[in-house]
A and B are shown apart, each in its own frame.
Chain A
Amino acid sequence: MVADDPGVAVAEPNAPASSLSPEIQIGLYRQMVRIRRFEEKSAQAFMRAAIKGFCHLYIGQEAVAVGALSALEPRDAVITAYRDHGVALARGTSARACMAELLGKQTGCSQGMGGSMHLFDREHHFYGGHAIVGSHTAVAAGLAFAQQYENTGGITLCLLGEGAVNQGVFSETLNLVSLWKLPIVFVIENNDYAMGTSVSRSSAGLPLVNRASAFDLAGRVANGMEVEEVRAKVAEAVSLARTEHLPTLLEVNTYRYRGHSMSDPDTYRTKQEIEEHKKNDPILRYRQKLEEREILSDALAKQIDAEARAEVQDALTFAEQSPEPDLALAFSLPFSPEDQIDPIPRPRYSDI
């Protein structure tokens, strides 16, 4: 099935990839196009300084978030690192709320306090956008711990970049999730470069999936340019997590076409290398596949593209017209209101 929200593909339980319905296939395609157009619009907005700070684009990696999240149920939890726009969109956060957050507006999904790297959406069980590399993997284990503690039947999907695997906390976390049989799936989005440092210069014991065996996790590999393959491998891992409480480490090989962030001059790789990878473009490949299967016509492809362009333009216009958050809002956010004890005084030590 395709959910009511046109952008969100939701899992059809136990549907093998080979027998995906045409609706699901179109949904996957539409979602990838939507993310691509959103990121292109973000790049434009960044170039004219409407977006400030850091802006890490997902272009080239769309099949990973779209395939992986399409294998989840709404009750599952999703958490990722700072390259999070595509993940938030695939999870169901509106393009408007994402774009407004990139512009730092009050209507953003984090009310302008988080920015590009810190998108959050409680309603969709999206636990962020985290920008300290590796740090969120332990938080992810806690989501899975809570799901097990509360016996919700949900699982946690944690995406991380391959640069995160060398942080100590990630190894500690793999140990914990295996020891406690937590319902979690780690997806390493291996795009070959941690900023400008290639995998081979940063990581011993390749391939990275080998890290699973040290802690007795299920280890799997997927081609991150093939959305249906990602979906199938994640679905298998989700099933292991949900029914067997066995955590999985899934290495998904992908590639980003743009720099690490918009400020990256991209001097550590050749243009030729990038062009080679573009031949494997996940959207292009899937479009060809769907055309061969006679599921996607040229007219429908154009329509999907036009709708995506309109949606992201609408999102940008919405973001630009939205109000800036003010200090009063900012000061209202650090503390939750108390409901089990009397209010705690919260003096502002900056007031004189």
Chain B
Amino acid sequence: MAKITYRQALNQAMAEEMERDSSVFLIGEEVAEYQGAFKVSQGLLQRFGAKRVVDTPISEAAFSGLAVGAALYGLRPIVEFMNWSFSFVAFDQLINNVGSLRFMSGGQFDLPMVFRGPSGGGTQIGATHSHCPESWFAGVPALTVVSPAFPEDAKGLLKSSIRSNNPVFFFEGEWLYGLEGEVPDAEFLTPIGEARICREGADLTIVSAGYSTHTALSAAEALSASGKEADLIDLRTIKPYDFDRIAQSVQKTNRLLIVEENKPFAGWGAQIAYDVQRRLFDWLDAPILRVTGLDIPQPYNGKLEAQVLPNVERILAAAHQLLA
């Protein structure tokens, strides 16, 4: 095991898969000569050349669509969005083409592609740069949505995503890139659709994903200090999410708290809450609660943004309400 950053984990995943399969290439803004806006692609240009590490103009719609065409033809593009908030100018490509073409062609064409980049707030860059669109894309039937919280999962899931024959939307985080963690030295794949148990406890189940997992972990530690222990489930994959692992925990704790950074209306937590109440109604001792981003556009002001994001204080308040 080596201790590396989340950023290095992603970099290793791409390098290993590009080494393994010549049809894999990386395309996006500043991925090559600049070495990545967040240095995730550092060194890849030098190693694989400009044919396979492709700098683009600021043209998300065109390069996303170009990647769709390349995938239809049989290549395996990795498309980097400098920020998922910038993907919206390519929304047509992502929804109508990535989301429909396999189905609409009667299954004739596959789209083995990964769209990846950071999402979420916390860096004071304002409402247009702080979106969490995971749930929006999860609403499209053919899309797979992955959001790892730890370096090991970032590497193992990105490798699985690149090898998947289906389009995977892969959500990273600016706050996550510098996070360090142990990652196995030998090659490994993390299965898409399986959650990770971050800590165990019998009083309460907390489900989270991406950077919010770390906030939830801090809250669970604080809760422990007050004598209550939470199961913390890091989804890793938002769609398809690991219902069975959640069910197993809820049948033990009978209480469910969902922590998600996106805005509340129809966020992914709402789907989980629906499924759990529908299938585990008799196991619940309290209403399911969700701690989400507050229902306003992201403010620039740092103190306000800290309140808008799911934070330890709000998670603890919700936990106490559930346990009361």
Contacts and interface: CB of A to CB of B under 8 A. Distances in A.
A328 to B, nearest CB: 13
On chain A, which size bracket covers the interface? 35 or more
Interface stretch (A26-34, A35-43, A145-153, A302-310): A145-153
A314 interface: no
B66 A334 contact: no
B91 to A, nearest CB: 11
Nearest to A179: B57
A336 B278 contact: no
Contacts, number: 170
Interface stretch (A247-255, A285-293, A344-352): A344-352
A5 interface: no
Contact of A120 (B96, B109, B278): B109
Nearest to A110: B106
Nearest to B189: A341
Interface residues of B, number: 53
Nearest to A138: B65
A261 interface: no
B144 A146 contact: no
Nearest to A137: B65
Contacts of B103: 113, 330, 333-334
Contacts of A190: none
Given A138-B61, A138-B69, A142-B69, A127 B109 contact: yes
B165 A120 contact: no
Contacts of B160: 341
A70 B104 CA distance: 27
A175 interface: yes
A113 B72 contact: no
A135 B65 contact: yes
A122 interface: yes
Nearest to B279: A352
Given A135-B93, A172-B61, A346-B240, A146 B102 contact: no
Contacts of A135: 65, 92-93, 96-97
Contact of A336 (B61, B73, B165): B165
Interface of A: 77, 79, 108-114, 118, 120-122, 127-128, 130, 132, 135-147, 149-150, 168-169, 172-173, 175-176, 179, 330, 332-342, 344-347, 349, 352
Given A135-B65, A146-B69, A335-B166, 4 more contacts: A132-B96, A139-B65, A150-B74, A333-B107
